[in-house]
A and B are shown apart, each in its own frame.
Chain A
Amino acid sequence: MKRCFARGLSLTLAAVAWLSLSYGCGRQDTPGGTQSSSGAVATQPAAAPGGPVRIGHFASMTGSEATWGVSTDAGVRMAVKEENAKGGVNGRPLEVITYDNQGRAQESATAVTRLITQDKVAAVLGEVASSRSIAGGQVAQRFGVPMISPSSTNPKVTDIGDMVFRVCFIDPFQGYVCAKFARGEPLNAQKAATLFNRAQIYSTGLNDTFKKHFTEMGGTITTEQAYADGDTDYSAQLTNIRATAPDVIFIPGYYTEVVNIAVQARRLGLTVPLLGGDGWDAEDLKNAGSALDGAYFCNHYSHDEDRPAVREFVAKYQEEYRRIPDGMAATGYDSAKLLIDAMRRASSLAGKDLAAAIAATKDFPGVTGVITIDAQRNARKPAVILRVEGGKTYYTTTIAPPD
């Protein structure tokens, strides 16, 4: 009996020790800690002069949305490799440090803090998901280190402050594009139903702008159905949608959700076309099999677009990684290229000067289009619509921003 008790006690103590240890480690990394109050520590530019210029990248390298992080990182690294072959920045080579945030917002804040305070990066690249870009962007803003999001489209991301930029369009425009496409050929939708993730800032924002533009263009929204993070069964919402007989279902979610939604919609006998945003963009969209045939989504670029920049990028990427680059790879590539271009123009690599150089970017020739950073630190670019067929995507049309 005594031995049992002793063993139990030591086990409990071990557990307590382990917990406090992990808590302690976590505290060192939190942005609210002591490091942030001193502020000036982190604004020191990358490493020693003459050493490599470090670029930080935080991304979902594992977890549910892993293909986004992996693709973006591949794009970023290819861009940096090319620029290093051209001699780097002012004679200094470039180095990318990538941290995995496992697809979680709180891990994003930790990763950015670590990149800035420990690795002394000159600038940060990341994320795809808006909620995670916001978490990371707040840290970058506080430390005064510029951050460029490759493909977060929620307006709130760059609202954080003058250190946060993006190289993609924003959701008010994306909602417009989806609404315009739904109303025109070939969908000619009069009635649309929406199914969105109310726990995701990206999804709710895109749902709102789609609704606004679709009704302004003369369409009607039959029903808006919501789900939350981690849901796998959408049949109740789809049953509600089916009862309203829409011409199209707008699903501004992530591909991980869309594949399940599509399969369940077909099982329920819903055969109307599905429409979505850039959250659909991933190789894993093929997981839905034939359920997504005939669906459309809005994206930053299409690999089969007939533009010289795209053809060149796709060829290089395929040679490097032996697969077709998705939109996240292209925006990742563009974000790194644009950052390096700004580094060359900047008077120094200190946060303020680099941010000023990024903000001054005009007519930068990117793969996803010609990028000009506007006063709100966003990029103004056309969007493309892709059609899904047999697990592959095909370029359908390009829609330019309204004047």
Chain B
Amino acid sequence: MVCAALLAPRRSVRSSDDVTKLIQTLLDGFAVGGLYALIALGYTMVYGILKFINFAHSDVFVLGAWISWVVTVRLLRLDALPADATPWWAAPVVILTAMVVCGLTGFIIERFAYRPLRNAPRLNVLITAIGVSLLLQNTGQLRVFFGPYPKAVPVLLPNQTVGSVAGVNLPAVDAIVIGVTILLMLALEALIFRTKLGRAMRAVSFNTQTAALMGIHVDRVISFTFVLGSALAAAAGFLFVMKYPAGLKQPADAAWVMLGLKAFVAAVVGGIGNVRGAMLGGILIGLLEFFGVAYLEPLYRDVYVFSLLILVLLFRPAGLLGRAVAEKV
């Protein structure tokens, strides 16, 4: 405080610019980091229970984004309306539809791709996950589904700025993205730590066999985990589309792969298998990326993220919130 007061007269213009930039970057980083966190939750929950990386998860996120397009443009035909005539119920309807469809997809993937391999070596499941990922990407590119071109989605959220204080703009979209992300995380937190189902999930994650012996329907819990993770990814997909409405990339575009990878990194950085770790990792990576781009070199946006991954793996291999577990032999 004192420092600020002392410095203010000398370089007031400059420092107010600096503060503006700092806060703006912070907000941008939070908004994108929240999206990473939402996707990372799916990776981490599945890993926590099944101990394998569901590489098809980022494609479920892409599916969520594209379902949002299908519902808005193909079913509701909202692109024909002028921008300010969007009905208020459009956004909730679209996000819920996307979550339901993706939840169902997650259920089907687990039931038919992973469950038959429940007792197979882990490598088999991993290869299957990559196969499911390729299947989703390339099926999505078929013209009967989404097509091989980028598309635009009408913005269903208010397009104006919520607040503009001291040059810092908080667009309504970013505010809603941050708000919905926080809401979903709180809901998930409550579900896992306050409900019976959540306790079952934690039990299965802790020790599957013992949980089964205690009368927990393990298959049902695993299915539910996939549905939950996929629904969260779908919500992230919808929010992503609202944040970047102009160029929704075709499902097999390389840009999606990078987003999915960053979310995966977020899960690992936070400590894979740890739900709070995924939230923390996502926000951390979002902030790191945006501060790197704003203050250092913008071309290295991916380098910052993966450098953090390397550092974490070197010094805290179990992740920031993860606990190191000795492998039983």
Contacts and interface: CB of A to CB of B under 8 A. Distances in A.
A231 B32 CA distance: 13
Given A4-B120, A62-B148, A269-B169, A230 B254 contact: yes
A20 B44 CA distance: 33
Contacts of B119: 4
A235 B246 contact: no
B247 A287 contact: yes
Interface residues of A, number: 45
Interface in B144-183: 148-152, 154-155, 159, 161, 164, 167, 169, 171, 173-174
B123 A12 contact: yes
Contact of A228 (B154, B244, B299): B299
Given A12-B127, A239-B21, A269-B164, 20 more contacts: A4-B119, A4-B120, A4-B124, A11-B124, A11-B127, A62-B141, A62-B250, A66-B148, A198-B299, A226-B299, A228-B299, A230-B254, A236-B293, A256-B247, A263-B246, A267-B173, A267-B174, A268-B169, A289-B154, A289-B246
A243 B17 contact: yes
Interface in A223-242: 225-228, 230-233, 235-237, 239-240, 242
Given A225-B298, A227-B299, A236-B298, A260 B21 contact: no
Interface string B207-251: 000000000000000000000000000000000000011110110
B25 interface: yes
Closest 5 CB pairs of A and B: A287-B152, A259-B246, A62-B148, A236-B294, A236-B293
A291 B245 CA distance: 11
Contact of A64 (B25, B150, B164): B150
A269 B123 contact: no
B127 A15 contact: yes
Contacts of B151: 287
B161 A269 contact: yes
A232 B249 CA distance: 10
B93 interface: no
28 contacts: A4-B120, A4-B121, A7-B124, A8-B121, A11-B124, A62-B250, A63-B148, A63-B250, A64-B150, A64-B253, A66-B149, A198-B299, A228-B301, A230-B253, A232-B255, A233-B32, A235-B24, A236-B298, A239-B21, A243-B21, A263-B245, A267-B159, A267-B161, A267-B171, A284-B247, A286-B152, A287-B246, A289-B154
Contact of B294 (A239, A262, A290): A239
Contact of B120 (A8, A226, A260, A263): A8
Contacts of B255: 230, 232
B114 interface: no
A103 B121 CA distance: 38
Nearest to B120: A4
A15 to B, nearest CB: 6
Interface string B247-265: 1011001110010000000
Given A4-B120, A267-B171, A233 B152 contact: no
A228 B300 CA distance: 9
Contacts of A284: 150, 152, 247
Contacts of A400: none
B186 interface: no
Contact of B244 (A230, A260, A289): A260
B21 A240 contact: yes
A233 B299 contact: no
A66 B298 CA distance: 27
Nearest to B174: A267
A65 to B, nearest CB: 9
Contact of B247 (A62, A199, A236, A259): A259
Interface in A348-403: none
A5 interface: yes
Contacts of A259: 152, 246-247
